[in-house]
Each structure stands twice: as structure tokens, then as C-alpha cells.
Structure 1
């Protein structure tokens, strides 16, 4: 997108009206609130729905397989952001991508809400994967559009936006967890569908007034001749994939294990391809190439961070169900309620971090330093959760406060890394690839969860201490290394702070 168009967008958005931020932040805040309400409401009960027995309303899938499927599903959700970012940059812009994505997500949750069999489960996953790929990177990209490049409110704005994400993520497990775990999984998924419907209505009716031109420009549009060629290639690719799947499944070549390996390969290969294409593109300037090089170590750090944080909905969810004392202080706790801890802590501390960055101004840590601090906290959160087994062994139930402490520590890291990463991505992105670079940011989570799909099979109560210790230790070492390299990385950012 040209600087002239960027200026037109900023000028079209009312710059005051939402806690001292552009008015468009209200629309994006609550659109993402309802989208995350639907996503995390579904995810809070998904793993239990998969491995609970059929007699308890579940699908009866093997426990370790269910944990791997949730990781693979999470990886594909973020991997599909490549498609969403490309469609937004080349065909219909970020605003339409957000709206179309919301419709697909809603349909996916409706499919989950229909009592059926495992076929409906996988149909819903396809809708949700594609829908989130369209919505998730593009709504964040629009947040970047409503601020000028040097607006010091940007990091604070992303922190507020991130708090909106977590309001939805906090409330939804309380509702879907109660309904899904105690009454019916399908009713819980139905509540998630309603949440996405409300988000669509809000976006549709407030975007014109609050967002102005934000999201309406196609950054790097396809020429008419290119469109015809691209659509032909896509159609041929879909047919080839369908044929390969139809042939390989009966032959036993495409199994769940081989699919996990394939997603793992894609999780590593896609970011490499993306970086290479953007770096070599003639539309990328020399300054933008330098900034892309600075982005690589940040991306690697993000992969390590999300590899730990995303296990909150797999390994720690299983830990809550199997290893935690759920009758505590006179209350019977649902294991799904622990999924609300992460967003609850973010809601409490995000305003503090947003205030802190604004208060520090130019004295705040650099972007690489914030990432290194985030990694150190993530590693520490896994070191903490191995302590109960160290003190009391693996054959007794754990006080739930240990789990609460682990979630709390990783949140401190998340607030140093995630909203800052969103903001840094909008700053470091080449102009011709702005939405696609946001998709690249979400590929960090895709790569992390593809890695987790391979790693979670090594977890068991017997290997618990080794599992948490090794992963936590690696994160701490990487955090220290990034802190040492931070000044050098900063020089490659060419003025971005």
C-alpha cells in the first residue's frame, strides 16, 4: 500500500473516541471479542468432547490422539491465514476477508452443534480453519491501518485490542464449559455459533462510520489476466489434492500419523517460503529487506513461546482433568474453567502493560528485548508446573493453585510478546505484503502447534518432570540468547522501535 493511501485511511478514521484511540478500535475490539468468544468457547470443551466416552456425549477418541488432533487443528487454523492474507492483499481487501471469515466460522460451530458423528466434526473443522484464516490476520491488519506509522499510541492500541480478544476468551469457557461439560457438548458449541453471529452484526453495522477507508484498499491487486490464471491454478490444485486424498486413504498412505508429519513439515516450510518470496520480491525495498531479516529471530522466538502457551489447551487441559484436585475449598471445579485463567490475567494486566509502555515512552525495552523477556517467562511457567511432581510424585492429585501459577507466569510473557509482536509486524511488513506479513506472524503459532503435535505424545504422568523441564529449559536458553543479540537485531530494523 502506498504512503498516500495510508494517509487517506488514517484521515478517514475518527482519531478520538475509544479511550483516547481511533474510533475504529471500538469496532475491531468488539468484532474480535465475539470471534474469540466463539473460538475459545469451542476450544475449551473440544479436547474433552473428543476423548470422553460416547456414553458421556463424547466421540471416544484415544486420549493421546485427541491431544495431537487439537494441536494439528490449531496449527491448520493459523496456517490458513496464508490464504486469508493473500486473498485480502490480492483480491478483496481485509474488510471483506473479515466478514467472509466470520460467516465460515459461524457455519463451523453450527456443524459442531448438530448431534452427529465424527464426519460432522471434521466438516466443522474445515469451516473453522478456513474462516479463522480469513478473519484472524486481517482484523489485526486493520488495527495497524487506523494508526499512522509513527503514532506512539500504536503499541498501546494493540494492547487494548489484545484485551478485547481476551475478554471474549475469558467469558466463553465459563459459559460453554458449564453448558458443555454439565449438560451437552453440542449446546456449548451452539453458544459459540451465536457469539460469532453477534460479532458479524456488530462489524457490519459499525464499520462504515468507525473504520472509514480502513480495510477497503487491495494492497497488491491482481490484474484481470492474472485473476483468470490464478483461479485456474487453484481449481486444478483442489482437484489434484482431492484425487490424492481419495487414492491415498484406501491404500493406507494417508493415515493420522502421516498427516501429523505432513503438517509438521508444512509448519516449517511455509514460513521459510514466505520469508524468501517477500525478501526476493522486486516490490520489497532495501530498507524493507533489512527489516525482514530483523523479523526472523523474532519469529523463531515466537514459535518457541507459542509452543508452550498453546499447550494450555492440550497438555495443561489434560493436566487439569487428570492430575488436579477439582474438589477444592468446598467447590467442584470444571476442568474447562482453567481455560479462562489465561484471558482473565490478560484482562487484569493488559491495561497495566499498555500504561507502562506509554509511560516509559522512548525508555521502554526494545522489541527484541520484550520478546526475550516473554520467552523467559514462558520457560519459567513450565519449570513451575514440574515442581508438584518433584515434591509429591506423580501418583497424587495436585493443588489447583500450581496450575493457576503456571498460567499466570506465561501470561506475563504473553503480554511482553504477543501484542508487541502484532504491532511490530505491522511496522516491519513490506508495503506490498502487509496482510500477508500478518499471516506470517500467525504462522509462528501454526509452526508451534505443528511441533506440539509431535511433542505431546511424549507426555505422561511418568515423564511429566522431564517433559516440562526440557521444554522450559530450552525456552529460557533461547530467551537469554535473544537478549544478547537484541542490540544487533535492532540495527536491522532501520529506525523501527
Structure 2
């Protein structure tokens, strides 16, 4: 209980503070996400950046990839330097400054790229650490209330994700892009106000780093950061001086780096001297297969704010149930279906117990996201150079959500279960790297449009996902043995 017995749906009032902060942060994130690709692809005459659809898709993919990748250093900074509480505050402030930078009514693209960089850095500080604070509201052993708290927290995320595309999309219509970016800044500002105002209800949680750096370690850290920044700046300057630097090529380089990160990390775990037992090594081999499956899933799923958004812009009728809508509004379908089906799937997994294994859930998710792209191929073929009903996209997002709820909720759980004892904490970040890999590679798939029609493009990606899903079903028994995941009767 909190001061005076005040609670938030039976939970400590501090949860209300974190719920509201995260809801508004997600409002700002999904609001920008809903218009970013179309803004970048709009011509300068329409106040956009004038990038090709292909390049805009690659940029959005890299943007999403880096958002998830920086969660790793963001968690480390909280643990060793700032503490979770201050990390969330400074992260939110940097995010808001990023949106303000993008909202400035100037023609220079410098403030757009600066804004995106600030949002990436701020999200790395805020996103992983606000979830940590939710967990710390509850004492050890209070797992039931903690799980319920995360369910409420998840609701806040999806409320922000649902309303943001509608509000920001409407404000940005008619080439008023900077007004949309401004709305995202206001959303993050409201989240910060709630966080500061309700900070007293957090009972000092996350005020101190778990293991603060010593003065000598701090100096060493600052030197490394300065060196890293200097190397990146010099490398970019040299590249630009050669006259070969382009945004498109830059996205390719970042994609390669993102792909290298998990390869290096898994090699470090498997080949390094960490006293791993034979069972731990076998479980890690199984996890690598699940990691690849998850990356393929996100590669398709996170094309929503780029390739599917372009389809909404160019090939769907702009109204739903007789109400005019903006292309960005289609980005609200996904969180709406998540809110509807989360309790259904939660009850389903409890009822099924271990009769449905983790590889089977991942396989089902891949087949669903593949099927959604088969639907997209049909819609693209029917549209041709014209338009089809927006209900095609409603169906696509419905199918995709059925897949997401079969993969996303169990991803962190299976990561924790299969992680070697020496890597329990670090491995949670690896799950988010799967999203990062999927986003980065998905952004580059736009290049297939040079040689494939839109229907063929969707079918190629659909085939990749379905084949990967069927492979998981074929090797389910083997993977269950490697994971030590045993079949037991479900509780009734």
C-alpha cells in the first residue's frame, strides 16, 4: 500500500506514475513511427525529405533496429552510473528534445537527423529501465501481483500506441509534418511531467546504481566514450570526403554492424571460457535457432511503419466504416487487436500448459506472419495501380497479432530459461537484439522492389517465414530435448 492506502487498481500508486509515463512515451514513439516513412518519402514540395520509398524503408528499419540495440548500453548506464530513476528522467528529456528538433519549421534536414539520434539515445535510457522500476515496486515473492502489474503496464503501452497514429496522423495531414512531430514532443512532455510529479510515490526505487563505477572506472569509461565518438565522427567525415557517402549506403553499413553483434555475442558465449556445463551449451544451441526464428518474424512484422504504410498511402481507400482516415491511422489496428486478444491468449496458454511447446508457438507465429503477407500479395495484385478497401490491412494486422501473441510474450521467458547461469542478466538484452536484426534486415528488403513486383515481394517474404515456421514444427521434438522442455499434462 502507498500513502494513505491510495492504490492504482489495487497496486502501489507508483505504478500509476510509471503507467502514465510509459503510455505517453509510447504515444510519442508510435506517433512519430506512424508518419516517419511517409514524411521521408514526401517530396520537398510537400515539405518532406524527398527520399525514395526504398531508402525511407531502410532508414525506418535502421531507426527501429538502433532503438532496440541501445537498450543494452542504456541498462548498463543505469546499473553503473545513473540509477534507473534518473535514467528514465534523462531519457525522457532527451526524447522530448529529439521530437522538438524534428518539429522545428526549418528546411534543413540536419534537425531531422539530429532529432532521430536524440530519440534513439533517450529511448535506450528510458525503455529498459522503466520496466525494471515496475518490477521493483514489489517485494521478493510477490510474483502474482508483479505479473498483474506488468499486464497493466502493457495496457498503458498499447493505449499510447493506439491513440498516437490517429492523433499524430490527423495533425500531420496536409503536409503538416512538423505539427505531427510537435504532438509527439508534447506527448513525451506530458509523460515527463507525470513522472516528476508522481516521483514521490516511487519510494526511492532506482535512486542509486546497483554497482556504481569507481572514480577510476568512471574516468576510463569517459575516455572510451570520447574515443568511440571521435572514431565515428572521423570515419564519417572521411567517408563524406570521398564523395561516396549516401543515406542508402549508410543504412547498409549499420545493417551489417547490427548483424555482426549477435554473431560475436553467441561466439563469445559458446567459445569463451565461462565454465558452461554441457547442458547449458546444448540449451544455447537450441536458443540460437529460436533467435533466428524471432529475427525472421520481426523482419516481416516490423514492415508495418514502412512498406505496409506505403501500401495504405498509395493503394487503399482512405475511409473506414464511412469515416475518413489518414494512412497513419492504419498503424492503430495492431495495438487495438493486441488489447483485445492479450487476455484470450493468456488464458489459452494456461489451459494448454506444456502441451504446446515453445518451438511450436514460434512456428505458429512465423506461419501467421507469412500468411499475412500472402494476404498482402492478394491485396497488392487486386489493387494494381488503383486502390482496394482498407479492410485488407485490417485483416493483415489481425493475422499478424495472432502470431505476435504466440511469440513475443514467451520470448523473454524462454530467454531466461535457456540462458547459462553466467549470462542470466545479459541474455535478456539478446532477445531485443533479435528484434534489432529483424528490423534492420527488413528495412533492406525494399531493394527487392527493383526486381520484383509488389505481389511477388510479399510472396517471397511470406515463403521465407512459412518455411522457417514449418522447420520449427519438423524439429520440435529435437528442440524440446535440447531445451529440456518436457511434455506434461495441462492443469484443468
- TM-score (ref. length: structure 2): 0.86
Contact persistence 2:58–2:446 (CA under 8 A): yes
**Is residue 2:182 matched to residue 1:187?**
no
Distance 1:68 1:183, change over 3 A: closer
Range that drifts further, 427-436 or 192-201: 427-436
Measure how far apart 1:205 and its partner are.
Answer: 4.1
CA–CA separation in structure 2 for the residues paired with 1:273 and 1:211: 40
**Is residue 2:387 matched to residue 1:397?**
yes
Q: Which residue of 2 aligns with 1:87?
A: 77
CA–CA separation in structure 1 for the residues paired with 2:16 and 2:374: 38
Question: Which ranges of structure 2 fall in alignment gaps of 5 or more residues?
Answer: 488-492
Measure how far apart 1:273 and its partner are.
Answer: 2.3
Measure how far apart 1:387 and its partner are.
Answer: 1.5
CA–CA separation in structure 2 for the residues paired with 1:19 and 1:108: 34
Range that drifts further, 426-435 or 263-272: 426-435
Measure how far apart 1:45 and its partner are.
Answer: 1.3
Range that drifts further, 203-212 or 181-190: 203-212
- Matching of residues 255-294 of structure 1 within 5 Å: 255-278=246-269, 286=277, 292-294=284-286
Q: Which residue of 1 aligns with 2:229?
A: 238
- TM-score (ref. length: structure 1): 0.86
Contact persistence 1:284–1:431 (CA under 8 A): no
**Is residue 2:216 matched to residue 1:225?**
yes
Contact persistence 2:168–2:181 (CA under 8 A): yes
**Is residue 2:317 matched to residue 1:325?**
yes
Encode CA deviations 1:360-394: one digit per residue, 9 max, x unaligned: 2845734333322222211111111112344x362
Contact persistence 1:89–1:434 (CA under 8 A): no
CA–CA separation in structure 1 for the residues paired with 2:81 and 2:299: 32
Range that drifts further, 310-319 or 258-267: 258-267
- Matching of residues 354-433 of structure 1 within 5 Å: 354-357=346-349, 359-360=350-351, 362-363=353-354, 365-390=356-381, 392=382, 394-425=384-415
CA–CA separation in structure 1 for the residues paired with 2:275 and 2:468: 30
**Is residue 2:103 matched to residue 1:113?**
yes
**Is residue 2:292 matched to residue 1:300?**
yes
CA–CA separation in structure 2 for the residues paired with 1:280 and 1:428: 17
- Matching of residues 11-50 of structure 1 within 5 Å: 25-50=15-40
3-state secondary structure, aligned to 1:59: coil
CA–CA separation in structure 1 for the residues paired with 2:415 and 2:14: 19
CA–CA separation in structure 2 for the residues paired with 1:149 and 1:368: 29
Measure how far apart 1:492 and its partner are.
Answer: 5.0
Range that drifts further, 430-439 or 187-196: 430-439
Measure how far apart 1:270 and its partner are.
Answer: 0.8
**Is residue 2:119 matched to residue 1:128?**
yes
CA–CA separation in structure 1 for the residues paired with 2:198 and 2:423: 27
Measure how far apart 1:277 and its partner are.
Answer: 3.9
Q: Which residue of 1 aligns with 2:165?
A: 173
3-state secondary structure, aligned to 1:35: helix
Contact persistence 2:303–2:443 (CA under 8 A): no
Measure how far apart 1:428 and its partner are.
Answer: 5.1
3-state secondary structure, aligned to 2:303: helix
Measure how far apart 1:238 and its partner are.
Answer: 1.3
Range that drifts further, 144-153 or 181-190: 144-153
3-state secondary structure, aligned to 1:459: helix
3-state secondary structure, aligned to 2:48: coil
Contact persistence 1:158–1:419 (CA under 8 A): no
Contact persistence 2:30–2:165 (CA under 8 A): yes
Distance 1:437 1:203, change over 3 A: farther
Encode CA deviations 1:257-296: one digit per residue, 9 max, x unaligned: 3312211211211112233445567778647666544432
CA–CA separation in structure 2 for the residues paired with 1:492 and 1:89: 33
Q: Which residue of 1 aligns with 2:131?
A: 140
Distance 1:425 1:363, change over 3 A: closer
CA–CA separation in structure 1 for the residues paired with 2:175 and 2:460: 39
1:103 to 93, 117, 122: 93
